[in-house]
Amino acid sequence: MTAATSLIASFTARESSGASGDIWAKLEQAYVVDSSDGANFNDLYQMLARAGSGESAMEYIYDQCPYARIDSDVLTVTLDFYVWVSSHDLHYTLSAGLGTISAGKVVELPRSFDVIFDDATSADLGFLFAGDFVPEMPFFSSTGQIMDDPVITASGSSVNLSVQATGALRATGLATGFKHTLTMQLSEIPVTNTDPYTGEETVLGGYSLENLQTAVTVSWVDGSGQTQSAILEIKVPECVESMVTICSDTTTLYRRKQSSGDPSYLVYYSACNGDILSEGWEEEEDK
């Protein structure tokens, strides 16, 4: 198996900021649509359509997994993550146990969420945020009395009330941070499957899935000169594992691309991974 060596890269934001207070960086994996855990009627119809027209239903699984591709027996997995920082000019270092990390790109993501004050005067948003804060309910004192709406102020990654209260705001605006892409490459490795009855060995191709487990670490220096770090366990989408599951079924199936007409066009493919093994016009002896 070939895996990309880990990369330690350091990045400095291109903008400066007057943000003060604690110095921090946080990691967040970009949203992963995890659709491989089940299938719905649409999936079934899509796969039936492919199987019935001479294509492999496996192609549909590949199409539904935008995080990975297999090219010349090399599996490439690409996953995005964000680095949220306390100020735009924070210098931070990234490293990954497996894979390479792209340079950061400044992003402004539209975000909308509830901010809850639990008998408090401030709430930490977790990222630099610019937007509107609208009260969603009356503000209450700790004894359950409705108060006049406190003055709301926002600065960097925090939002503050003029008095201690319990209540909720709706935040709508832009979160600012850095987006990086983690790229992992794995080559197909020979895997031997031994028949338990005959002892016959069959060499199969596969990818070592456990090597897809990885984490990203961000490090920075805080206000007292101490190096701090945070770790993000990267979630590999289940559909990636489905794509590279080692298959021991050596059955070859075929489909007619046209159900009528003479001769028919036949496609032979592997029942295991959907690879097309051969195709051509039906010959007399095939009938």
Residue type, position 151, single letter: V
Does 42 interact with another protein (rule: CB under 8 A)? yes
What is the Cα–Cα distance from 30 to 109, expressed in whole angstroms? 11
Residue 77 Cβ vs another protein, minimum distance, rounded to whole Å: 21
Q: Residue 177 Cβ, how far from another protein at the closest point, in Å?
A: 15
For another protein, the closer of residues 219 and 242 by Cβ is 242
Q: Is 140 in the site for another protein (CB under 8 A)?
A: yes
Residue in 194, 197, 115 with CA at minimum distance from that of residue 150: 115
CB of 272 to another protein, least distance (A): 18
User: Site residues for another protein, window 168-187 (CB under 8 A)?
Assistant: 168, 170, 172
Number of shown-chain residues binding another protein (CB under 8 A): 36
What residues form DSSP beta bridges with 203?
A: 192
- Chosen residue from 3, 26, 29, 43 binding another protein by CB under 8 A: 43
DSSP E strands in the chain: the ranges are 8-12, 25-29, 68-71, 74-85, 91-96, 100-101, 105-124, 128-135, 139-140, 146-147, 152-155, 158-187, 189-194, 201-206, 214-221, 227-234, 252-256, 265-270, 276-281
Q: What is the DSSP letter of 54?
A: T
Residue with smaller CB distance to another protein, 97 or 131: 131
- Around Cβ 131, how many Cβ atoms within 10 Å? 17
With CB under 8 A as the contact rule, the residue among 8, 14, 52, 248 that binds another protein is: 52
Q: Applying CB under 8 A, does 112 fall inside the site for another protein?
A: yes
Round to whole Å and give the CA distance between 11 and 34.
Answer: 30
Residue with tokens 């359950």: 144
Q: Does 41 bind another protein (CB under 8 A)?
A: yes
Asked if 110 touches another protein (CB under 8 A), the answer is yes
**Looking at 32-40, 69-77, 78-86, 201-209, which segment touches another protein (CB under 8 A)?**
32-40
Q: Where along the sequence are the contacts to another protein (CB under 8 A)? A: 33, 38-45, 48-49, 52-53, 110-114, 116, 118-119, 136-138, 140, 142-144, 146, 166, 168, 170, 172, 255-256, 259
